[in-house]
């Protein structure tokens, strides 16, 4: 099962799969959630639904795909927090930011439930001022991929309706 980062939805809306040109992309997450293939978390929902745009409305109509955190992820959150604060690699500001946004919870949930994170982020092992999702995933041994690879691996088809 794949766990979708907020940037999957945001980039899709802003670039690759606008609502007007690729409605199939927007039906895909709900269908795949019902099939047990994809989901996201409530913290991602909160980020998206706070907006005042078509993406926020879509999230509100598809809230079921955004699952809540649970007790299983607490150990993973603690391990991520310790790593972010004590690895010596990141600035205190980077650690604080990471621990206060959805990214930390996304990785912890994926770790606790053995999910694959789908994100547009790429690792930057030299960066000290920002903790990226792939680096946190790597630390916990969580698999991650980009959304295009996920769509390909899941044989997603965004087919136009025939006239």
Cβ atoms of 29 and 136 within 8 Å: the answer is no
Q: Is 95 helix (H, G, I), strand (E, B) or coil?
A: helix
Residue 126 pLDDT: 76
Between the two ends of the chain, the Cα-to-Cα distance in Å is 34
Angle between helices 133-140 and 102-113 (to 10 degrees): 30
Residue 39 bridge partners (DSSP): 3
pLDDT band for 158, please (50, 70, 90 cuts).
Answer: confident
pLDDT in tens, 130-146: 999 999 999 999 999 99
pTM of the model: 0.92
Average pLDDT over residues 6-13: 96
- Token pair, residue 13, equals 């809306």
pLDDT in tens, 78-104: 999 999 999 888 999 999 999 999 999
pLDDT in tens, 20-58: 989 999 999 999 999 999 999 999 999 999 999 999 999
């Amino acid at each position: 099962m794949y766990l979708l980062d907020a940037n999957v939805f945001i980039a899709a809306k802003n670039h690759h799969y606008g609502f007007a040109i690729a409605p199939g992309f927007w039906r895909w997450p709900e269908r795949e959630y019902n099939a047990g293939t994809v989901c996201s978390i409530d913290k991602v929902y909160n980020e998206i639904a706070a907006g005042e745009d078509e993406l926020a409305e879509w999230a509100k109509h598809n809230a079921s795909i955004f699952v809540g955190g649970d007790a299983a992820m607490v150990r993973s959150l603690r391990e991520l927090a310790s790593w972010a604060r004590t690895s010596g690699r990141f600035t205190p500001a980077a650690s604080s930011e990471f621990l206060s946004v959805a990214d930390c919870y996304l990785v912890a949930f994926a770790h606790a439930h053995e999910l694959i994170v789908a994100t547009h982020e790429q690792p930057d092992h030299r960066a000290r001022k920002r903790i990226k999702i792939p680096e946190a995933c790597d630390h916990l041994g969580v698999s991650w991929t980009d959304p295009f690879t996920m769509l390909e691996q899941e044989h997603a088809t965004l087919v136009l309706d025939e006239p």
